[in-house]
Structure 1
Amino acid sequence: MTVGFVQDTPPDPIRFAYWVPNVSGGLVISKIPQRTSWDADYNRRLAQIAEESGFDYALTQIRFTAGYGAEYQHESVAFSHALLAATSRLKVIAALLPGPWHPTLAAKQIATISQLTNGRIAVNIVSGWFSGEFRAIGEPWLDHDERYRRSEEFIRSLRGIWTQDNFTFRGDFYRYTDYTLKPKPADPLPEIFQGGSSRAARDMAARVSDWYFTNGNTPENIRAQVDDIRAKAAETGNRPRIGVNAFVIARDTEEEARAVLQEIIENADPDAVKAFGHEVKNAGKASPEGEGNWAKSSFNDLVQYNDGFKTNLIGTPDQIAERILALKDAGADLALLAFLHFQEEVAYFGTHVIPRVRALEAARESRAEAA
């Protein structure tokens, strides 16, 4: 029988992150008109708006080839540094893809950025789902679980380089002998994020990651993932926190919000959605359990890359705030959010949703203290 995770102390306030649109096409595979831009000036201003609005993190994306509506892409680490230079508190999570990146280079890049920004850089280790991308750039495409074994060695290498002098490691993918990196990252040490729903992904998170990102889902299904990961993590002493993907459509009325969702889906690029679905579902089928992140995603779900519609943060600010509390109750520590028109919708979220979430959290804590 699975036992639900029990908080032994009052939970921290839920944190908020946003997907950085550093690739063209926004965060939906749709031809709906968008005011979101992938360019640097737009994203610098967006980072400032997010910081002013109460967001804690921004997550840059890594893509090497065009596809699925994303014709142009800025590289994630350099772009993360540009956003950090434009802000003072926001932490930026740079996506790294083992294979194209070697941990030696990644460790040095991130340590330098950490020193330059007082520790505001983090990393998201992406194990890879797009075989065509690897073939296009001449990188070997490993079997599903081998990709996660490599990612785990990548994480162990990063952490070892960042915390030890004379670091020695003997893995199947990476090897080090008495390697010392100086300067090491500033305090705090860069947090390590990862995603994935397969058994290999969850087990890796339980062993070595600070944060685990899950695709959008219902609170009930998120709870099942949280319980599974934390039960596994208890065996190792690790305690990964959980981030949940969601696409937000916050409007003054639920009817307005639902109409926007319908318009996004009606304007979906069917060929691109089907191609994306084919690629990601094949990647999941290659896992030993034959199921990955997008195994149960419908066409409509796949219009948003990471099943963000499933989380149902679509409606009025009050409705969305209540649903965010339900995610927190399910074990989520962070909501990773995407929007249609990023700048104005991030500002709206900060003005109308985050204060409602904080008020609900405060009221709940007051009731708990009075009980």
Structure 2
Amino acid sequence: MSEQEKNITFAYWVPNVSGGLVVSNIEQRTDWSYEYNVRLAQTAEKNGFDYALTQIRFTAGYGADNQHESVSFSHGLLAKTERLKVIAAILPGPWKPALAAKQLATIDHLSGGRIAVNVVSGWFRGEFYAIGEEWPEHDQRYVRSEEFIRALKGVWTQDQFSLDGKYYQFKDYTLKPKPLQKPHIEIFQGGSSRAARDMASRVSDWYFTNGNTPEEIKKQIDDIREKAKANNHSVKIGVNAFIIARDTEQEAQAVLQEIIDKANIQAVHAFGDATREAGASSIEGEGNWAKSTFEDLVQYNDGFKTNLIGTPQQIAERIVELKSVGVDLILSGFLHFIEEVEYFGQKILPLVRQLEAQQQVVIAAKSA
């Protein structure tokens, strides 16, 4: 089955940190508690979501005063669901690959093969300083992450695994039991810099990019996939999107405007300063948020840029357009998570599947 024949998949950001997914003082019927998140996870898997992504934060900031740890929280959600796969975000530095490999392999057995991992190279220097962790310069953080991923893969697939890296070393190490998932637990990563794309093209199963237009996303996808092919590797693409679906376009746009109008101005500027500092140290002199406006930064990962804002029909058509440029997964955020995830499953997902089916008929006719 070709990539175009596969249905696009959906993930959602787990609100395991306070403040929701926007840096705004708007009312949100979203909560960071375990009880709320269990209900959300159960709602999501009943409404067509395949993945949930927990967030990793060690310190307060940018409207997120409280944070539940990602790996243990992921395990808690897996225990209360049946089909959903939960992606635990981890940071090289605080985590060492030997611990992560063993921790995640155990959760894989406990959950029946439903854990995944998102290796976060890090952009928030203040957080690393606060907990006494080394802060390598930008591209070296990706060198470290790549070693981390190679270590995970090696430990999960080989006996007597050895690695003599700059950051991590293994000598004849055998992990047992190995994960249930074969060849190994799925590995996600994010980033939009050249270093991030190059790493994805060598070692990652999935690459998350910030929200953007289909044209700009296609440029990244083409770059990654061309490099991956040269490396005899393949990588799938996930795109961040903050979804505002309402019965009319006017209602959806009004919600967007209210989020921006009620933005936490100080927190948004602080977030922007931190991201610009991180990006300035990359070789190209810019990072994920280099071209983001104040309005874009109100949603952490440029989710407004993807423009999944409007009626169910408009959003479904834009999702299928993203699929046509090579997107495999939409990583979704919402204002009021539980009810909006349910609305998505009832009103938008059926339209997406209908449009995908129509698209396949056209492709089949052309190839006949």
SS at match of 1:353: helix
- Does 2:75 match 1:81? yes
Residues 54 and 86, structure 2, Cα contact 8 Å, conserved in 1? yes
Note the C-alpha offset of 1:326: 0.8
Structure 1 residue aligned with 2:194: 199
* CA offset digits 1:121-180 (Å, max 9, x no partner): 000000000000000000011100110000000000000000000001110000000000
Are residue 315 (structure 1) and residue 310 (structure 2) matched? yes
Q: Which one of the candidate residues 124, 138, 143 is aligned to 1:149?
A: 143
Q: In 2, distance between residues paired with 1:276 and 1:346?
A: 27
Instruction: Pick one of 1, 12, 15 that aligns with 2:6.
Output: 12
Letter in 1 for 2:283: P
Q: Report what 1:47 is aligned to.
A: 41
Matching of residue 270 in structure 1 with residue 246 in structure 2 = no
Instruction: Give the alignment's Cα RMSD to 1 decimal.
Output: 0.9
Q: How does 1:188-337 map to 2 (within 5 A)?
A: 188=182, 189-337=184-332
Kept in 1: contact 2:193–2:286 (CA 8 A): yes
Q: Quick one: which amino acid aligns to residue 35 of structure 1?
A: R
Say if 2:118 is the partner of 1:128.
no
Shift of 1:221: 0.2
Deviation at 1:370, TM superposition (A): 3.0
Q: Which amino acid is 2:190 matched to?
A: G
Match of 1:103 in 2: 97
Is 1:359 aligned to residue 336 of structure 2?
no
1:137 is aligned to: 131
Task: Show CA shifts across 1:7-60 (max 9, x none).
Answer: 956431000000000000000000001010000000001000000000000000
Question: Could you tell me how far 1:273 is from its partner in structure 2?
Answer: 0.1
Structure 1 CA distance, aligned partners of 2:224 and 2:135? 27
The total of aligned residue pairs comes to 365
> What is the aligned counterpart of 1:60 among 31, 54, 64?
54
- Measure the CA separation in 2 of the matches of 1:278 and 1:239: 34
Q: 3-state DSSP class of the match of 2:360?
A: helix
Q: Which amino acid counterpart does residue 14 of structure 1 have in structure 2? A: I
| Residue of structure 2 in register with 1:346 after alignment | 341
Q: Secondary structure of 1:17's match?
A: strand
- Call closer, same or farther: CA 1:8–1:60 in 2, change over 3 Å: closer
After superposition, the C-alpha distances for 1:314-371 in whole angstroms (9 at most, x for unaligned) are: 0000000000011101110000000000000000001001110000001111222233
Report the 3-state secondary structure (helix = DSSP H, G, I; strand = E; otherwise coil) of the residue aligned with 1:42: helix
Give the gaps of 5 or more residues in structure 1: 1-6
Identity %: 68
Looking at structure 2, the residues matched to 292 and 355 of structure 1 have their Cα atoms a distance apart, in angstroms, of 36
2-structure distance, mates of 1:116, 1:74: 20
> Any gaps of 5 or more consecutive residues in structure 2?
none
AA matched with 1:134: F
CA contact (8 A) 2:5 2:360 kept: no
User: TM-score normalized by structure 1?
Assistant: 0.97
Structure 2 residue 85 is the aligned partner of structure 1 residue 91 = yes
Secondary structure of 1:123's counterpart equals strand
